[in-house]
Structure 1
Amino acid sequence: MSDIIAIIVAAGQGTRAGAGAPKQYRLLGGEPVLTRTLRAFIAHPAINRILVVIGAHDKAHYEASLAPLKDTSKFLAPVVGGDTRQGSVHAGLWALRNAPPATVLIHDGARPFVSQALLSETIAAAQTYDAAIPGTPVTDTIKTIDTLGRITGTVDREALRAVQTPQAFAFAPLFAAHIRAQAEQETTFTDDAALVAWAGQPVHVFSGDANNMKLTTQSDFDAAEQRLHTPMITRVGTGFDVHAFSAGDHIWLGGVKIAHTQGVTAHSDGDVVLHALTDALLGALADGDIGSHFPPSDPKWKGAASDQFLIHAINLLRQRGGVLDHLDATVICETPKVGPHRDTIRARIAAITDLPLDCVSVKATTSERLGFTGRAEGIAAQAAATIRLPQGS
């Protein structure tokens, strides 16, 4: 049994995108949209298998989409979908029923910009919740209107989210919800989150990615083509953090708990490495510092794990269409010795940021017994982050 299988829904005809092949098979940047979508799922190491749901007459289109891919070893045989999205997902789940995965990801074939970071966040959410979906804040003012087009009210957008895919579910309750909906002839659900919520299961919403656009109309394709050719500008930011030692038996460095003869004085968990990296990212974005985003005066952050600060900065980068290229941190202290923990720290930072391990550098130095770090009164870290942002963003 595979732990995680991704079902890619690619059975629709996409008529709103205009004449020609279904939108998931139209060319984007010289290759089919579906090819770009599938490449992202192939690349993620936690996804064991991929099942594509296709239209009854689209086998040739599907095979053409696989042709540019170097590795197709993760693919199960495609299945033919239904007349609706709900029917297509049902067909995919039905095909897996005899050897079901623990977790299934449902993704639209016409969302080719899904990032490795969003896939990682989706998988992490799936391990905590039986149903979890990405959503982005709604920035436009939303009005309700009557049949004559007159405004009848304004919706509070703070409670609104624009829902995306991939959506993650424990297989068994999702499959049961589909079976029940079919039996009760409830066939109008436009996504699986709505279906499982109808079945009585809570659905958790986590932060989505503004770049994860769905291609629906010709204007979407025009914007996507422009995006593929938008020049990217490299930026570098730096960060620095320091904490005094205090009574305790451990410290946190780079998201790793390290036994020590002392702790640190801090409002959060006092992880100087993650704090410095967060500030480096915010610096590259020219978006304030860690204190402006997470004020130490706010009791919400008392004892908080610092990985959420770094994830917040990553999300800000994504919202602007940016790419994280490299992180570099230097720990400055007499004790503890960082060397024995270096690889574990690098791996943890890589996991938090969804960077390849060879794009994360962690170094350590002493201050030659000079200053507060030399007197072993505290610990410091400095960091640099290299990013790329779309020109003019």
Structure 2
Amino acid sequence: MSDLTLILLSAGNSSRFGMNVKKQWLRIDHNPLWQFVTKRLSSTGLFSDVIVTAHADEVSFMKYYGDFTIVEGGRTRQESLRNALSAVKSKYVIVTDIARACIDPMFIRKLIDHREKADCIVPFLSMSDTVVYKDNTIERSDVKRIQTPQLSNTESLRAALQSKTDYTDESSAIVANGGSRYFIEGHEDAHKITYLSDLKAMPCLHKPSSDMLVGNGFDVHAFDKESEMVLGGVNIDVDFGFKAHSDGDVAIHALIDALLGAAGMGDIGMLFPDTDNAYKNIDSKGLLRETVVKIRQFGYEIVNADVTIMAQVPRLDRYKIKMRKALSAILQIEPSRMNIKATTTEKLGFVGRKEGVGVIATAALKGIPYDVVLLSTNISGQDYYSVIEAYKDSVVILMVSYISNDTVSKPLDTGAKDYILKPFMIEELIRKIEHFQEFEALKRQNKMYKDYLRHSLDGIKIEHDLENIKLPLFISSNFQKYTDLFVFSYAELKSRPMSFVSFKNSNALSEIASLPKNTFVYINDFQAIKKSDRRPFLDMIADMDVIVSSSESIEDVEYRVIEIKSDNNIFEQGDILPIEDYVKYIVLNYQHKFPDTELSKKLGISRKSLWEKRKKYGIIKKK
């Protein structure tokens, strides 16, 4: 049986963190940060007990997350630690902060190996920079940066913490009380999360799960002739209300239960008990606002909500839009994601007897995602490949002390975006992050354009030797998409970026003149060029790589001209086709997409007429 207890301090307010979510409730995959760290360290099997301190408002919720001892924290770190020590029964105790999230479990063993050497075993980092204290430069070798976790003799720590002086770590309290401490070398990567920017130095953290979490809520209230009715955050113009401890807004109460259910945070009675006079006649919108704050503090984002109100009376049609707007504003979601429905029960039950109202609500949540992940590949035993895979949709930047296949090349091959050598300037890191975020946005945009082009040009074929095309080149076509396919296929074959200019733009000539000589340019709408611009343009492109297209025939140019005509009389140039040409076009282009029964129906003719038209036009349908 181990004689060692682990205490994890998680009762802080995260006032310096700078986000709505408290840092201990940041989502790491499916788990809040405090649970992730607790499970990571407790899985070593080194501890007889694991104790986690929690903010008073969070104790009941944290008990749902595992078989840990949850102790209510205090106003200060030291007070929280005193509370936790009251539950410790082992000879030794290791104390660490949830904010120091990526502690190597092997480092815990290192502390244990030295436990007999003093009352407190303390990891530290040396100073590499010049240190000035009260305008005096002091010897930096005399300065130590103290880290946690620290291992202490339990009784020594208990005695030391009886002091009224507030200490920021265990060793300082023990030494002040006459105890001893022993320093061991700390770990440079054992960073602590204090500010939002500190997340960038946490190699072990995974992004929140993309799973949706869904909860539902149900509530009923009886009518009361002495009350005013508030429903869905809106005053209802009737001469009765609801019997309730609060204002009786049954719709909001069901919605709160749905949100708490999705987050696994119990129910409205736990959060706002009706035995507490503080909630007597309270505005339920205030309760919903407080619930939303907690949901966000616990690392969740509200996706949508749906509320069904069952009421024989009053009629609610004219209030539904007002309810949607009022509730969506509190939930901080678009009104389109806050649905309100109202129905009767066809005079059945207590609702049908006009005795009260029932409400069912559903809500969906998701974890707040990360845009950027900083990953250290210098930590021995770290499985960074799984981290890179887990964050493949984020920008992963490697932080390395040296360059090798293991620290840089292999992780980059796996999907990391870039690396930066430690130590580094924060400005350089920000530059890399902004660069790759812009790059990823451009990649998504480029893919969208390429997908659209492929879809738009699907089914069109051209037969030209693109490999040996000489530029400048003019193309005359009655169908713009034929020219587009020709140009885009050529650019892809030659791996050439392309600029686009149309002569429908009055500044087209100056645009072309401003382009570098080696630019490949696709110039459209040659038929629209001004006569006065024609000769200057033809002279200008003599040494340029351009393809020029026109929807009309091209004459009197000194460059090669090819003509691409559609055999199917495609009609995207605004022409009005004869009925026969239209029918021929439809049969040629759609006979392989629809069976004859459906195709003839769409054309408004019989199957026999369709067969006769094929024969007339010489169209053969391939089997």
Matched residue, 2:73: 81
Matched residue, 2:18: 18
Unaligned runs of 5+ in 2: 208-375, 384-403, 412-418, 422-623
The answer as to 2:305 corresponding to 1:322 is no
Q: TM-score, normalised by structure 2?
A: 0.33
Out of 372, 389, 393, which is 2:407 matched to?
389
Q: Which amino acid aligns with 2:161?
A: H
What is the number of equivalent residue pairs in this alignment? 223
Distance across 2 between alignment mates of 1:222 and 1:60: 31
Distance across 2 between alignment mates of 1:33 and 1:196: 29
Q: Which amino acid aligns with 1:209?
A: H
Distance across 1 between alignment mates of 2:204 and 2:87: 38
Matched residue, 2:230: none
Distance across 1 between alignment mates of 2:169 and 2:155: 17
The answer as to 2:100 corresponding to 1:111 is yes
Matched residue, 2:179: 201
Unaligned runs of 5+ in 1: 146-151, 230-318, 327-385
Distance across 2 between alignment mates of 1:29 and 1:224: 14
Residues 24, 32 of structure 2: 8 Å contact kept:
yes
The 1:138/1:227 distance shift into structure 2, 3 A limit, reads farther
Cα displacement (A) at 1:63: 4.4
Residues 95-174 of structure 1 mapped to structure 2, 5 A cutoff: 95-96=87-88, 100-145=89-134, 152-174=135-157
Distance across 2 between alignment mates of 1:195 and 1:19: 32
Cα displacement (A) at 1:20: 2.1
Larger radius of gyration: 2
Distance across 1 between alignment mates of 2:115 and 2:182: 9
Q: Could you say what the CA RMSD is over the residues aligned between the two structures, in angstroms?
A: 2.9
Matched residue, 1:46: 46
The 1:325/1:18 distance shift into structure 2, 3 A limit, reads closer
Residues 134, 206 of structure 1: 8 Å contact kept:
yes
- How big is each residue's C-alpha offset from its partner over 1:334-365, in whole Å with a ceiling of 9 and x where there is no partner? xxxxxxxxxxxxxxxxxxxxxxxxxxxxxxxx
Residues 322, 387 of structure 1: 8 Å contact kept:
no
Distance across 2 between alignment mates of 1:155 and 1:9: 33
Residues 37, 113 of structure 1: 8 Å contact kept:
yes
Q: Which amino acid aligns with 1:176?
A: A
The 1:219/1:129 distance shift into structure 2, 3 A limit, reads same
Distance across 2 between alignment mates of 1:44 and 1:23: 24
Residues 4, 92 of structure 2: 8 Å contact kept:
yes
Distance across 1 between alignment mates of 2:97 and 2:41: 12
Distance across 2 between alignment mates of 1:227 and 1:170: 31
Matched residue, 1:308: none
Matched residue, 1:192: 170
Matched residue, 1:176: 159
The answer as to 2:207 corresponding to 1:218 is no
Which structure shows the bigger proportion of residues in strand conformation?
1
Where 2:114 maps in the other structure, the secondary structure is helix
Distance across 1 between alignment mates of 2:148 and 2:380: 20
Cα displacement (A) at 1:2: 4.9
Q: Quick one: percent identity of the two aligned structures?
A: 22
Residues 29, 225 of structure 1: 8 Å contact kept:
no
Greater relative CO (CA pairs within 8 A, separation 6+):
1
Distance across 2 between alignment mates of 1:43 and 1:83: 30
Cα displacement (A) at 1:29: 5.8
Distance across 2 between alignment mates of 1:387 and 1:210: 22
- How big is each residue's C-alpha offset from its partner over 1:7-30, in whole Å with a ceiling of 9 and x where there is no partner? 111111111001323211123466
Q: Which amino acid aligns with 2:77?
A: R
